[in-house]
Amino acid sequence: MSASGPDCPVPYRVLSTAPEQHDVVTLEVSPLLGELPAFEPAQFSMIGVAGIGEVPISISSATESSHRYTLRRAGAVTTVLCAARPGDVITVRGPFGRPWDLRRVRGAHALFVAGGIGVAPLRAAVEAVTTQERGAVGVSVLAGFREPDEQVFGSWLDQLAERVVGGSNVTVRRTVDRVDAAGDWGGPVGPVTHLIGPALEGRTADPVVYVCGPDPMMAATLRTLDDLGVPASSIQLTLERNMHCANGWCGHCQLGPLLVCRDGPVVDAAQVARLLDVAEL
């Protein structure tokens, strides 16, 4: 049995759960029957709870026998999933969608820009670029969060800074939108876009950029990169707008001429720069 068919939910067992912050959980799951399907970074699956529904969730990381999904509690399905325990059974359809094009990093400086839980769809790509020979000249990872205690994958980001790619350490920079008066945050405060210029200073190769986060954050990132002279052809971003069927049938995820589940979730910046200003209903 394979989990790759678009119409057949496959039962998966929850192997472990890990809280990332107060409303974000990572589930590690494995199929009860058959082999674990292969995936590429940024692809997503439809994760289901019997009698309640499905939600699209990107695969944040994987082992040889399991996938990990990082999700925020935001509705009926995700509330149940965030409360799951090892041994529980859920359903999975997928993986679906267009992945990141990591071939572009060869000979380039790979810049990853994440907002909040947008770190999750980028994590597998960062792992691929920093642990495999992809030919990147350098790697920078920029992550913005609302508050210091809302960081996702904080310890993983710490470990990234110890890796070496292209003869230099991976650069990791974090920022937060606000800090409590009693907090001990010693890093930058402000939008993640403020980190982009410094990250690109002194680079020895042209950048290729991978972006994931809320629509306003991604739109602001595109404007900042444009101001810095980075061409849209060098930028990819990933969308997860209201996907219901994952097959391009229902139309709920339409964004201008695109059906995100079919044409994305990864898209080229030139395709959606103006479309990101359209509010999701």
DSSP string, 193-214: GGGHHHHHTT-SS-EEEEEES-
Q: What is the pLDDT of residue 196?
A: 96
pLDDT tens, residue by residue, 256-268: 888 888 888 999 9
What integer pLDDT is reported at residue 235 of this predicted model? 96
Question: What are the structure tokens assigned to 148, written together?
Answer: 């210091």
Residue type, 266: V
For 16, the enclosing helix (H) or strand (E) is strand 10-21
What's the average pLDDT block by block, 10 residues per block, for the chain (281 residues)?
63 95 93 90 93 92 93 92 96 92 94 94 94 90 92 91 88 90 78 94 88 92 94 91 80 82 88 67 53
What pLDDT is recorded for position 112?
97
Helices (H), 110-244: 119-131, 154-160, 196-200, 215-227
| pLDDT (0 to 100) of residue 252 | 84
pLDDT of residue 174: 94
Residue 130, pLDDT score = 93
Q: How many helices (H) and strands (E) does the chain have?
A: 7, 16
Q: Are 38 and 48 in contact (CB under 8 A)?
A: no
> What's the pLDDT tens digit per position in 64-73?
899 999 999 9
Give the pTM: 0.91
**Domains of the chain and any CATH numbers:** 10-96 (2.40.30.10), 102-277 (3.40.50.80)
**Which ranges constitute the DSSP H helices of the chain?**
76-82, 119-131, 154-160, 196-200, 215-227, 260-263, 269-272
List, for residues 98-141, the tens digit of each pLDDT value: 999 999 999 999 999 999 999 999 999 999 999 888 989 899 99
